């Protein structure tokens, strides 16, 4: 029998994240919230953060909701609502700023995938601190995916599905952010082992 993290404290944060993105899609708020480099340069700074929660289309949103569900299945019980909100908020800001500073060729950006790469890395590190070997495998697997994308470019099939170019550099930024966000977990784990 599966032991899913269905208690409200584990279930409500990912549901809220999906509901937020679905609401933005339903009301077609991309023009107001997406990362648009020209508009950010003109002072619409909220777009750096808000762009993480809007999507190119419904297929794009569905893929990211699938990622939210997968992360909930893997790590839902590892985080409180407060920790979940902090991780999502910090990674959204990190990813948006990273796209702005390090990806000058990206003029329009939307989607949760960058920050989800960070969240899954954080969860993998949390797994390792709980002595779960799957955490090591997941951490290595995500980084291998990132390296594969960097060497081979974005997945063309996914790009067709979402009618947009997959922002693989944003995925890298998200994974770096998740690694940095998880560093204190690892430091505490090592200190407590010694």
114 located within any domain: yes
pTM: 0.95
Q: Count of residues for the chain?
A: 194
194 located within any domain: no
162 located within any domain: yes
pLDDT of residue 1: 52
Rounded Cα–Cα distance for residues 29 and 14 (Å):
21
Mean per-residue pLDDT, 104-132: 96
**CATH number for position 44:** 1.20.1540.10
3 located within any domain: no
pLDDT over 90 at 162, yes or no: no
193 located within any domain: no
Domain, as residue range, for 126: 8-188
Of 58, 143, 68, 155, the residue nearest 113 (C-alpha): 68
Give the three-class secondary structure for 70. helix
Mean per-residue pLDDT, 184-191: 93
Mean per-residue pLDDT, 188-192: 91
Q: What percent of the chain has pLDDT over 90?
A: 88
120 located within any domain: yes
Mean per-residue pLDDT, 161-183: 94
Q: What percent of the chain has pLDDT over 70?
A: 99
Rounded Cα–Cα distance for residues 47 and 68 (Å):
22
108 located within any domain: yes
Residue 85 corresponds to which tokens in the numbers above? Answer: 């909100």
Mean per-residue pLDDT, 107-127: 97
The total domain count for the chain is 1
Rounded Cα–Cα distance for residues 54 and 29 (Å):
7
């Amino acid at each position: 029998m599966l032991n899913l993290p269905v208690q409200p404290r584990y279930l409500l944060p990912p549901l809220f994240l999906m509901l937020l993105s679905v609401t933005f899609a339903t009301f077609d708020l991309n023009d107001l919230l997406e990362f648009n480099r020209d508009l950010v340069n003109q002072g619409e700074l909220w777009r750096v953060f808000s762009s993480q929660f809007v999507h190119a289309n419904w297929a794009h949103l569905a893929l990211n909701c699938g990622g939210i569900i997968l992360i909930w299945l893997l790590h839902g019980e590892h985080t409180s609502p407060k920790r979940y909100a902090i991780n999502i908020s910090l990674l959204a800001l990190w990813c948006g700023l990273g796209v702005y500073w390090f990806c000058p060729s990206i003029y329009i950006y939307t989607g949760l995938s960058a920050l989800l790469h960070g969240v899954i890395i954080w969860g993998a590190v949390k797994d390792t601190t709980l002595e779960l070997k799957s955490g090591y495998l997941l951490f290595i697997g995500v980084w291998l995916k990132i390296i594969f994308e960097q060497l081979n470019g974005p997945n063309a099939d996914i790009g067709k599905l979402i009618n947009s170019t997959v922002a693989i550099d944003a995925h890298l930024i998200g994974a770096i952010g998740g690694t940095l966000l998880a560093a204190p977990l690892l430091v505490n784990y090592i200190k407590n082992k010694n």
